[in-house]
Amino acid sequence: MSGAALLEVKDLEAAYGASQVLFGIDLQVHQGEVATLLGRNGMGKSTAIRAVLGLTPARSGAIALRGQRIERLRPDQIARLGVAVVPEGRQIFPNLTVRENLTAFARAGSSRAWTLERVLEFFPSLARGAERMGNQLSGGEQQMLAIGQALMTNPDLLILDEATEGLAPLIREEVWRCLSALKATGLTILVVDKYVERLLPLADHHTIIERGRVVWHGGSQALAADHALWHRYLGV
């Protein structure tokens, strides 16, 4: 593997028992960029993310973070190397305060460390309600809290796996604005989502998978110009 990318996935195959899901996936995410993994439901996107996180074993192929092979590491080891995920469903602690939810995820980081103070400054609505319980927050505030939890681990790579699924349009817009601001800080982000039009101005490049195989890879300008591609592989 070249080691040029922060995250590099090469020839990745994965299965659930006898049912193979991924067939030689290649994916690269470079430092400081936003990349997407796109495709219809059931095409293998979440399985690819689970493999990167160490939650689904790789049957074959390689996954490297900063050139270090990680496909045989445990999820906690991968997390400590700097990979954080914001999963679908806003999995916060409902009976903890905002402050407690954030401090529960605190991990020492770099000189640009995401501290409690920095996360609350980044999310003013959370700062105003820092002593509120998780189950007292609006859907948008819960989503911001889930992102804040991931930031508190001081990740080098932030993955959002269908994090806007089921959210109201205004709340999704909050998430997009948040990701744009995070990109401006230099954070590397991988997004799995279905809202292609909203991802085009945000992301640097896109990878589309269909039935566990990469069928297209390119930049936002090329994807924006090819609506036939959207209809064929994204169901837009």
| Per-domain residue ranges of the chain | 1-82+159-171+189-236, 89-155
Greatest distance between any 2 Cα atoms in the chain: 50
In this prediction the pTM is 0.93
Residues 62, 110 contacting (CB under 8 angstroms):
no
pLDDT at 1: 41
- Taking the CB of residue 228, how many other CB atoms lie within 10 A of it? 8
Using pLDDT thresholds of 50, 70 and 90, give the confidence band for residue 107: confident
- Tell me the residue length of the chain: 236
C-alpha 61/C-alpha 160 separation (Å) is: 23
Using pLDDT thresholds of 50, 70 and 90, give the confidence band for residue 3: very low
pLDDT at 2: 40
Q: Which CATH class is domain 1-82+159-171+189-236?
A: alpha beta
**pLDDT per residue as tens digits for the range 14-53:** 999 999 999 999 999 999 999 999 999 999 999 999 999 9
Average of pLDDT values for 111-139? 90
**pLDDT per residue as tens digits for the range 154-205:** 999 999 998 888 888 888 888 899 999 999 999 999 999 999 999 999 999 9
Instruction: Tell whether the torsion through CA atoms of 57, 62, 63 and 69 is positive or negative.
Output: positive
**Alpha-helix residue ranges (DSSP H) falling in the chain:** 45-53, 75-80, 98-103, 116-122, 124-128, 139-152, 169-184, 196-199, 220-225, 227-229
Pick the residue with more confidence: 11 or 162? 11
The percent of residues in the chain predicted with pLDDT above 70, rounded, is 96
Instruction: Tell whether the torsion through CA atoms of 211, 213, 215 and 220 is positive or negative.
Output: positive
User: For residue 110, is pLDDT > 60?
Assistant: no
